[in-house]
Amino acid sequence: MKPVFVPHATYQDFVMNQLREHYSGGILTLVNDDWPVITKLWMTDLSEITKMIGDIYGKRGPAPQDPASMMRSYLLLILTNPTMSVTKWVDELKRVPLYAILSGFEPGNTPGIGTFYDFFARLWGSKKKNRTHKTKSKRSRKRKPKKGKKGGKAPTTTPGRVKRLVEWIIPRLDQKQELPADRLFDFFQSQILTISAKLGLLGDVEQLNVAGDGTPVVTASYTRSKPTCDCRAQGIANCKHPRVYAQPDCDGGWDSSREKYFHGYHLYMINACDSPYDLPLYPRLNRASCHDSVGFIVSWAEFSQRFNSGAIDKILLDAAHDAYAIYEMIDHQQMEPIIDLNKRAKKNLETDSDIQLSPEGVPICPIGKKMKPNGYDHTRHRQKWRCPLACGANNTCETPCSTAKYGRTYHTYTKENRRLFPKLSRETDRWKTIYKSRTSVERSNKREKVDYHLEAGRHRSTMMWYVRIYAIMMCQHIDAWYDHRKDELAFLKQHIFTPAV
């Protein structure tokens, strides 16, 4: 049977009436710590989820639970007990009337475990719970990936892969393909991101700066798999036959922050780096062995095809993304890359003149001084550099290499090398100021993994991991709304226990 649409105002009236009935008589009481979560759910309109997935329900059968209440209940789980399983949460709804009321259920009439998982399946646009097809989940055992340096990323094991991937993706950027997680992102964008944008919590949406970074997500202590042969029964220990994996979308990777191997996903997150609350925009789960540069290319292609809540101006990335093909991909979309250099060379580069270029792309004058940036010519796409010792008519150089009063000048052209000669020079204070905001994505990942215990979800399917990630992202935005409107919503506590006239 199709679900019945319940307006958000009806839910708000329900909460007020139920709280007055159960918590105003003195038997049950509310403490101060309860009011933030009451306020957060009271102001968050989730009613549109019923319209978005209503067609997925059958026309016959018993009346289903309200989808908005199901989503609200799961968000309440993340907000209050992020380490608790759905199974225990079902018992918690029965035990604590407040949680049932805030979800939108009458105390004593709460959904069961199967109802929750049926609802989660309707948020996933595929009958299969993993992206990898079951018949393709058979793969030979892989060697452990190489360890990265302390605090650094694991090195890529396939040279040239980034370039080949970019060359394959660029012609297909306009060809959007449906993904199983699209229903989750569509709801997240239409009901969460748009509100954060209207409140000004994402920054300037007309010129939005975003950052991207990857982080490991541990899903199990070891790889779970079953053999497809009987070699073990025959006493053959060194079996090289394929195995069927319980988590086909996961594999092993190197966690540089914890300095150990892990089994799970490589979560690539894109966020609004100018947001005062470090708000996330788009998640993408890759295998643990995926390098940051590869994760960015795939994630960005999907994100740019779906995001319509603002115009992207700059993309901020760390040195793990310092590949020439990535600059070409970003430039193809008419955006500006702000990427830290991964220093590969130690010697200066020779030019046709007596000027040399440092490994960072900075011109070096004949006496070995770094030249100073002096503006970018957008008409000719070139960066102007001037003598570091000349300032107007004053020239403190003992052996000047130019007779000009202004001093020696030199130009570098972006088209010659987008990586070394970006539009905004890395030597400028403005570049350094902009790049500092890249750490916003790291703080966002910290919120998800530490504050909301992302890895506490003991799930076996990619479907459930995406549901959990999107729920945590919604809670991050709801927390920002609450903090932004805290004074405006201070009336709620008094209003609920004041009966309407």
Contacts of 466 (CB under 8 A, 6+ apart): 124, 180, 181, 184, 283, 285
Claim to verify: residue 451 and residue 334 sit in the same structural domain: yes
Q: Which residues sit opposite 317 in a β-bridge?
A: 339
Supply the range of the domain harboring residue 283. 137-340+437-476
167 belongs to a structural domain: yes
**350 or 471, which is more confident:** 471
pLDDT tens-place string over residues 293-345: 999 999 999 999 999 999 999 999 999 999 999 999 999 999 999 999 987 76
Task: Using alpha carbons, select from 478, 484, 367 the residue that is nearest to residue 45.
Answer: 478
State pTM to two decimals.
0.91
Q: What is the mean pLDDT of residues 157-165?
A: 82
Let me know if residue 117 belongs to a domain.
Answer: yes
Mean pLDDT of 443-448: 96
- Per-residue confidence (pLDDT) for residue 180, from 0 to 100: 96
Residues 270 and 296 in one domain: yes
pLDDT tens-digit profile of 25-42?
767 888 889 999 999 999
Residue 43, in any domain of the structure? yes
Average pLDDT across the chain, whole number = 89
Does 131 reside within a domain? no
Q: Domain check: are 51 and 167 in the same one?
A: no
Listing DSSP states for 409-478 in one string gives: EEEEEGGG-TTTS-SS-TTSHHHHHHHHGGGHHHHHHHIIIIIS-GGG---SSHHHHHHHHHHHHHHHHH
Residue 15 pLDDT exceeds 80: yes
Report for 64-78, 124-138, 484-498: range of highest mean pLDDT? 64-78
Residue type, 327: Y
Nearest Cα neighbor of 194 from 407, 392, 474, 409 is: 474
Instruction: Write down which residue in 359, 394, 425 finishes a domain.
Output: 425
Looking at residue 498, its pLDDT comes to: 57
Indicate whether 89 and 159 sit together in one domain. no
Looking at residue 135, its pLDDT comes to: 44
- Confidence at residue 103, expressed as pLDDT on a 0 to 100 scale: 97
Question: What per-residue confidence (pLDDT) applies to 211?
Answer: 98
CATH number at residue 195: 3.30.420.10
Are 71 and 210 in a shared domain? no
Q: How far apart are CA 329 and CA 297, in angstroms?
A: 8
Which of 2-6, 240-244, 245-249 is the most confident on average?
Answer: 2-6
For range 432-458, the mean pLDDT: 96
Residues 285 and 149 in one domain: yes
> Which pLDDT does position 146 carry in this prediction?
64
Predicted confidence at residue 132, as pLDDT, reads 79
Looking at the structure, do residues 270 and 382 belong to the same domain, yes or no? no
Angstrom CA distances, 11 to 105, 195, 423, stand at 10, 19, 51
Residue 432 lies in a domain: no
Q: What is the pLDDT of residue 138?
A: 56
Nearest to 258 by CA among 215, 318, 319: 215
**pLDDT tens for each residue of 110-144:** 999 999 999 999 999 999 999 876 544 555 555 56
* Mean pLDDT of the region 153-182: 86
332 and 353, same domain (yes or no): no
Residues 270 and 208 occupy one common structural domain: yes
Does some domain include residue 1? no
How confident is the model at residue 392, as a pLDDT? 61
**From CA 313, how far away is CA 238, in angstroms rounded?**
53
Residue 83 lies in a domain: yes
User: What's the mean pLDDT in 95-100?
Assistant: 95
Question: Facing residues of 412 across strands?
Answer: 383
The pLDDT value given to residue 100: 97
Residue 25 is predicted with a pLDDT of 73
Q: Under a CB-based contact definition with an 8 Å cutoff, are residues 87 and 28 in contact?
A: no
Do 181 and 329 sit in the same domain of this protein? yes
Q: Count the domains in the chain.
A: 3
The CA angle 445-451-457, to the nearest 5 degrees, is: 85
- Going 232 to 236 to 238 to 243, the CA torsion angle's sign is negative
Residue (of 192, 185, 182) closest to 275 by Cα position:
192
Cα separation, 233 vs 242, in Å, equals 16
Lowest mean pLDDT among 188-202, 235-249, 408-422: 235-249
- Identify whether residues 417 and 394 lie together within a single domain: yes
**Cα(99)–Cα(479) distance, integer angstroms:** 18
Cβ-in-10-Å burial (0-12, 13-18, 19+) of 473 comes to: buried
Q: What local confidence, expressed as pLDDT, does residue 275 receive? A: 96
pLDDT (average), residues 79-94: 96
Q: What does the pLDDT read at residue 258?
A: 82
- pLDDT higher for 226 or 394? 226
Q: Look at residue 456 and tell me if it is in a domain.
A: yes
Identify the weakest region by mean pLDDT among 272-276, 325-329, 388-392: 388-392
CA angle 448, 449, 454 (to 5 degrees): 85
> Is the same domain home to 202 and 64?
no
